[in-house]
Amino acid sequence: MTVRIPHSPGLRDLGVANWLFCKLAARRQHVPRAHLFTTLGQHKRLMWSWLPFGGVLMRGGKFSTRDTELVILRVGHLRDSQYELQHHRRMARAAGLDDATQALIFEGPGGPNFEKLSDRQRVLLTAVDELVETRTLSDATWAALAEHLDRPRLIEFVMLTSQYDALAATLSALRVPLDFDE
């Protein structure tokens, strides 16, 4: 796979602030380069506009870390986004979603062991699948979500799912290389 945007840009391509941010992000992630950021950082204003939005959805919102990671893992799986999965499998484990639970998330609503998940998890996964597939939610799925989520969390669910779907498309279209050698 040939990358479409140079993934090892220098100071000139990134600018000082983005270059420093990319170095810090790579150090925090324990990788030589944080390819998502070195790619997006080549559009200086766009990266700094996207970071707060993505940050609120990932860790600054009303969803628990477990619910956030469950949604992200399912979107990453549905979109075959190895970049998202590589990072978020680790984060999900740290949030308490062990490998067995992650396997159930990847099986999804049609899986033989779907009933092993909690009702809330099943509703979230069903809604992720529907939103990613149809770009909307049926009234029945909305009602099921509303049994588990208040109004701000309903909004956040749609934005979180859509954001990671868009990010998966961006990673794929730009052919951003993986950060970990696994």
Domain layout of the chain by residue ranges: 12-59, 62-173
* Per-residue confidence (pLDDT) for residue 174, from 0 to 100: 96
Q: For the domain with range 62-173, which CATH number is right: 2.60.40.2140, 1.20.1290.10, 3.40.50.1370, 3.20.20.70?
A: 1.20.1290.10
> How far is residue 58 CA from its own chain's centroid?
8
* Per-residue confidence (pLDDT) for residue 10, from 0 to 100: 85
* Per-residue confidence (pLDDT) for residue 182, from 0 to 100: 66
Are 44 and 18 a contacting pair, CB within 8 Å?
yes
Average pLDDT across each block of 10 residues of the chain; the chain has 182 residues. List them in order: 83 92 94 93 93 94 96 98 96 97 97 96 98 98 98 98 98 95 72
